[in-house]
Structure 1
Amino acid sequence: MNIIEKLFPNVIPIWTGDGGVTQSIGQTLYMTFFTALIAGVLGILIGIFLVLTDDHGLLANRPVYWILDKIVNIFRAIPFIILLAVLNPFTRLIVGTGIGPTAALVPLVLGTTPFFARQVQNALLTIDPGVIEAAEAMGLSPAAIVFRVYLREGLSELIRVGVLTIISVIGLTAMAGAVGGGGLGNLAIAVGYQRFQNDVTWVAMIFILILVFLIQFIGDLFAKRLHH
Structure 2
Amino acid sequence: MSLLLDRLWQGLIDTGLMVGVSSLLALILGIPLAVVLVTSERGGLFEAPALNRLLGGLVNLFRSVPFLILMVALIPFTRLLVGTTYGVWAAVVPLTIAATPFFARIAEVSLREVDHGLIEAAQAMGCRRWHIIWHVLLPEALPGLIGGFTITVVTLINSSAMAGAIGAGGLGDLAYRYGYQRFDTQVMVTVIIVLIVLVTLIQLSGDRLARYFNRR
Question: TM-score, normalising length from structure 1?
Answer: 0.92
Q: 46, 49, 58: which is aligned to 1:71?
A: 58
Contact 2:15 2:169 in 1 (8 A): yes
Q: 183, 188, 191: which is aligned to 1:201?
A: 188
Tell me, yes or no, if structure 1 residue 215 matches structure 2 residue 205.
Answer: no
Equivalent in the alignment of 2:122: 135
3-state SS, counterpart of residue 99 of structure 1 = coil
Separation in structure 2 between the aligned mates of residue 211 and residue 128 of structure 1, nearest angstrom? 35
The higher radius of gyration belongs to: 1
Separation in structure 2 between the aligned mates of residue 15 and residue 220 of structure 1, nearest angstrom? 30
Equivalent in the alignment of 2:137: 150
Instruction: For residue 198 of structure 1, report the CA deviation from its aligned partner.
Output: 1.1
Tell me, yes or no, if structure 1 residue 91 matches structure 2 residue 78.
Answer: yes
Instruction: For residue 56 of structure 1, report the CA deviation from its aligned partner.
Output: 2.5
Separation in structure 1 between the aligned mates of residue 173 and residue 42 of structure 2, nearest angstrom? 45
Instruction: For residue 171 of structure 1, report the CA deviation from its aligned partner.
Output: 0.5
Q: 105, 111, 115: which is aligned to 1:118?
A: 105
**1:128-182 deviation digits (Å, cap 9, x = unpaired):** 1101110111111111011111111111111111101110111110011011011
Which residue identity is paired with 1:13? Answer: L
Which residue identity is paired with 1:129? Answer: H
Equivalent in the alignment of 1:14: 4
Contact 2:165 2:172 in 1 (8 A): yes
Q: 47, 54, 67: which is aligned to 2:34?
A: 47
Task: Structure 2 unaligned segments of length 5 or more: list them.
Answer: none
Instruction: For residue 60 of structure 1, report the CA deviation from its aligned partner.
Output: 1.0
**1:38-62 deviation digits (Å, cap 9, x = unpaired):** 0111000100000000113111111
Which residue identity is paired with 2:68? Answer: I
Equivalent in the alignment of 1:159: 146
Q: Percent identity?
A: 41
Separation in structure 2 between the aligned mates of residue 167 and residue 118 of structure 1, nearest angstrom? 16
Greater percentage in helix: 2
Runs of 4+ in 1 over 4 A off after TM superposition: none
Question: TM-score, normalising length from structure 2?
Answer: 0.97
Separation in structure 1 between the aligned mates of residue 110 and residue 178 of structure 2, nearest angstrom? 40
Give the aligned length: 215
Task: Structure 1 unaligned segments of length 5 or more: list them.
Answer: 1-10
Separation in structure 2 between the aligned mates of residue 206 and residue 28 of structure 1, nearest angstrom? 15
Instruction: For residue 13 of structure 1, report the CA deviation from its aligned partner.
Output: 2.7
3-state SS, counterpart of residue 36 of structure 2 = helix
Separation in structure 1 between the aligned mates of residue 175 and residue 2 of structure 2, nearest angstrom? 15
